[in-house]
Amino acid sequence: MKMKLATVALSALIAAGPALADLTFPSLSYRTGAYAAGGIPFADGYADYFTLLNERDGGIGGVKANVLECETGYNTEKGVECYESTKGQGALVYQPLSTGITYQLIPKATADGIAIHSMGYGRTSAKNGKVFSNVFNYPANYWDGASGAVNYLLEINGGDIKGKKIALVYHNSAYGKEPIRTLEELSKKHGFELSTLPVDHPGQEQKSQWLQIRRDKPDYVLMWGWGVMNQVAVQEAANIRFPMENFIGIWWSGSENDVLPAGDAANGYKALTFHNVGTDFPLFDDLKKYVIDAGKAAGAGDQVGTVLYNRGLYAAMLAAEAAKKAQEISGKADITAADMRDGMEALEITEAKMAELGLPNFGPTFSVSCENHGGDALVGVTQWDATSKTWSLISDFKPTDGEVIGALIEEDSSAYATENNIAPRCN
């Protein structure tokens, strides 16, 4: 009864005064440390989208959104501390923005009944919603990225890459090792020769790896890098005159930060993506009006439209749409973490929905279900133009190899379920 009275009193307070920031979206950001150049634009984009919803629409379903930022420095231990210190403040969903932090938070958040959205990173087998009830990695994961790269190479080689040599240059961490098993399986299927070259954190020293590439003469180089490692790799590739159009990075190796330092030498470099690039979308007019020009931007406003700003914006858009779906399902505006999880599991992003939001063709269409927490696994390719200093989407969002990836996901998630005594759901 006391709780009911408190709720009534709170409702009266909201009605009488300015709306409270009730829908809390923690942002585990890293504006400091070795990877700050990547963390800052993502955090800005994530915050600015919710600010836009608050300023233009009065929030989500009439309830203001509150972005609760906590600095992790891309450090796993700090990330866990951020989670523990913010989870009791009405947190609806966590974006750990680090594979290491994600792995640590999976059992914690699941036990606490809070959702995790590790968009394009984290534990790939979390796509299996039957085992990972509270983890979502839509619209694409690292194994989709590996397959997307191979499918693109198949496409530009007339469907045949048998005998081709592909080298993987990767960050020597859980993140960087993610695509190896998938690429090994795909090499068996398509007959290409795979070599792997680890690069230790932070990635400034890569001379030996690129000398080996010069010696081995692979047809293509794929990269799973982050931070300064990407810049160094692009420069080293230029130094040995490796054809930039044959060098393809994962989506965390495809921002302006990665190519600008190499100048004209970076021209033609490619990167995978699961969202579009630039500012040529109606939503950016609203962002300028309600957020940037109004002096309410999270940062200096200089990151708007960059690859990683757009990624943060996209992550926020997906979170907001899941919150709307949760409000619709639950029949209430003031949703809980459990409601949010249900909204994420029922999320469907159509082209009509993206157009309605002012983001036509901004990302792939996909739907989520109890069994499938990863979406439809569609991956695109972008290319850098050093003259105009812009990225362009050169290959639309296309299907990846569900047969190979599905088997790997089933194997890995089943092992996780056995180890952790998890009974599969969705029956």
Ordered DSSP codes for 300-337: -STTTTSHHHHHHHHHHHHHHHHHHHHHHHHT-SS--H
CA distance 393 to 397: 9
From residue 51, alpha-carbon distances to 42, 112, 136 in Å are 14, 27, 24
Q: What is the pLDDT of residue 427?
A: 75
DSSP 346: T
Provide the residue-wise pLDDT of the chain in tens; the chain has 427 residues: 433 333 433 343 334 344 444 899 999 999 999 899 999 999 999 999 999 999 999 999 999 999 999 999 999 999 999 999 999 999 999 999 999 999 999 999 999 999 999 999 999 999 999 999 999 999 999 999 999 999 999 999 999 999 999 999 999 998 999 999 999 999 999 999 999 999 999 999 999 999 999 999 999 999 999 999 999 999 999 999 999 999 999 999 999 999 999 999 999 999 999 999 999 999 999 999 999 999 999 998 899 999 999 999 999 999 999 999 999 999 999 999 999 999 999 999 999 999 999 999 999 999 999 999 999 999 999 999 999 999 999 999 999 999 999 999 999 999 999 999 999 999 7
- Beta-carbon contacts of 119 under 8 Å, excluding residues fewer than 6 positions away, are 95, 137, 138, 139, 274, 311, 314, 315, 318
CA atoms within 13 A on the CB side of 215: 7
What pLDDT does 271 receive?
98
Residue 44 near residue 297, CB atoms below 8 Å: yes
For helices 402-419 and 180-190, angle between their N-to-C axes, nearest 10 degrees:
140
Report how far residue 394's alpha carbon sits from residue 270's, in angstroms, rounded to the nearest whole number.
Answer: 9
**Hey, what are 142's tokens?**
């690292």
Backbone φ and ψ for 185, nearest 5 degrees, come out as: -65, -40
Is the alpha carbon torsion for 329, 333, 338, 344 positive or negative?
positive
Across the chain, which distance is largest between two alpha carbons, in Å?
76
Closest CA to 66 of 108, 25, 114: 25
Fill in the amino acid letter for 305: G
- Please tell me the distance from the alpha carbon of residue 63 to that of residue 360, in angstroms, as a whole number: 25
pLDDT at 21: 47
Helices and strands, counts by H and E, the chain: 15, 14
Please, are residues 107 and 123 in contact by the beta-carbon 8 Å criterion?
no
Q: Give the residues across from 198 on adjacent strands.
A: 170
- The full length of the chain comes to 427
Using alpha carbons, select from 31, 110, 142, 95 the residue that is nearest to residue 316: 95
93 and 116 in contact (C-beta within 8 Å)? yes
What is the C-alpha to C-alpha distance for residues 265 and 259, in angstroms, rounded to an integer? 9
Q: What is the crossing angle of helices 99-112 and 76-86, to 10°?
A: 30
Which residue in 121, 154, 155, 152 sits closest to 135, CA to CA? 121
pLDDT of residue 228: 95
> Is residue 276 within 8 Å of residue 363, measured between CB atoms?
yes
Distance CA 311, CA 391 (A): 14
DSSP state of 261: G
Neighbours of 38 (CB within 10 A): 23
The DSSP bridge pattern shows strands 247-249 and 220-224 to be: parallel
* Helix runs in 331-401, H state only: 337-345, 351-356
| 424 DSSP 8-state letter | P
- For 379, the 3-state DSSP assignment is strand
